[in-house]
A = this chain, B = another copy of it.
Amino acid sequence: MFTIHQLRGFVAVAEEGHFGRAAQRLSMTQPPLSRQIQQLEKELRVTLIDRSGRTVRLTPAGRAFLRDARRLLNDAENATQSVRRVTDGRAGVLSLGFTATSGYGVLGTVLRAAARELPHVEIVLSELVTRDQIDRITAGTLDAGLVRPPTPPAVESRLVRSEALMAALPVDHPLAVQDEIALSALHGADVVGYSPLEARYFYDLVVGVLGAADVRPTHVQHAHQVHTVLALVEAGMGIALVPETAARLRFEGLVFRRVRTPVAEPVELHVAWRADNDNPALRTFLDLTLAENVRYG
């Protein structure tokens, strides 16, 4: 196989049309350059340069090879630049998990910021519940995840965004006339809740918020996912407490109202990753995700 050095030599000679000038351009003397080309030709078993005259003229094969040689040199240079970008975290592949709910709000902001700031980083997305994300992060098949707390000590995590709870209720519900709904108003009301296993975080959150206020509603139904909960509300099964961003899911006949809770924004979304993950794109991705304009943008 020929050498990249030989390609350089050939391209220089072809472009200068002169061994002497080509050698000068390559900071060397003519003889080794002459041998380089000879060796390249021997390797290819093809004559690239017509030496019948004293002038340098490419053969048809030489002209064809010149294009390929230029492209190869260019690609080699690009490969170098590209791999350096990967170590800088400015290129590469990052696998990112996210929960269904985070997809309505934070994920879009994060992806837009990444597309803008890290155009060479390809982000591979997987919608997964928090538990599965943590498993995969631990196993090393996921670089980062947008998850609900808590996270085990084995993985790092930081708060990305916290948001308020809102009440979702049918537009014709008596409470819908109010701008803001007190927790006490839910006492005895029909409430659509979350599955204690599959939606552990929201289950605990809602139970905690209502329990602290000593409000005991009637739990009429459980669902795994926020959009299912909203569908049940729309079907008239009751009221639900959902994160603020879920209000982006426009359901016909559904309204959202502020709920005053002890903690103003009790719904937390964290980004989680493994401390010893060596993907450089992870660092730049985390810097980006934890930047203020992404957290609140």
Name the B residues within 8 Å of A77 (CB-CB). 1
Is A68 an interface position by the 8 A CB rule? yes
Name the B residues within 8 Å of A48 (CB-CB). 83
Is A220 an interface position by the 8 A CB rule? no
Interface contact B71-A83, CB-CB below 8 Å = no
In whole Å, how far is A55's beta carbon from the nearest beta carbon of chain B? 14
Interface contact A279-B60, CB-CB below 8 Å = yes
From A2, A3, A8, A83, residue with most partner B Cβ within 10 Å: A83
In whole Å, how far is A61's beta carbon from the nearest beta carbon of chain B? 4
- B-contact bits for A48-72, CB 8 A (1 contact / 0 none): 1010000000011101110011011
Name the B residues within 8 Å of A69 (CB-CB). 79
Is A75 an interface position by the 8 A CB rule? yes
Name the B residues within 8 Å of A76 (CB-CB). 1-2, 72
Interface contact A59-B2, CB-CB below 8 Å = no
Is A47 an interface position by the 8 A CB rule? yes
Interface contact A61-B86, CB-CB below 8 Å = yes
Partner of A60, one of B46, B59, B80, B93: B93
Name the B residues within 8 Å of A45 (CB-CB). 84
Partner of A79, one of B50, B72, B79, B82: B72
Name the B residues within 8 Å of A47 (CB-CB). 87
Interface contact B50-A278, CB-CB below 8 Å = yes
Partner of A86, one of B60, B71, B86: B60
Complex Cα–Cα for A75 and B68 (A): 8
Is A4 an interface position by the 8 A CB rule? yes
Complex Cα–Cα for A142 and B208 (A): 86
- B-contact bits for A210-231, CB 8 A (1 contact / 0 none): 0000000000000000000000
Given A3-B4, A75-B75, A280 and B83 touching (CB < 8 A)? Answer: no
Interface contact A2-B2, CB-CB below 8 Å = no
Is A115 an interface position by the 8 A CB rule? no
Partner of A87, one of B61, B80, B278: B61
Complex Cα–Cα for A239 and B191 (A): 98
Interface contact A80-B2, CB-CB below 8 Å = yes
A-B contact pairs, 14 of them (CB 8 A): A1-B4, A1-B77, A2-B80, A44-B80, A46-B83, A46-B84, A50-B278, A59-B278, A60-B92, A64-B82, A64-B91, A64-B93, A65-B83, A72-B76
Nearest 10 pairs between A and B by C-beta?
A: A68-B79, A61-B86, A65-B83, A60-B279, A64-B86, A61-B87, A46-B87, A46-B83, A60-B92, A61-B83
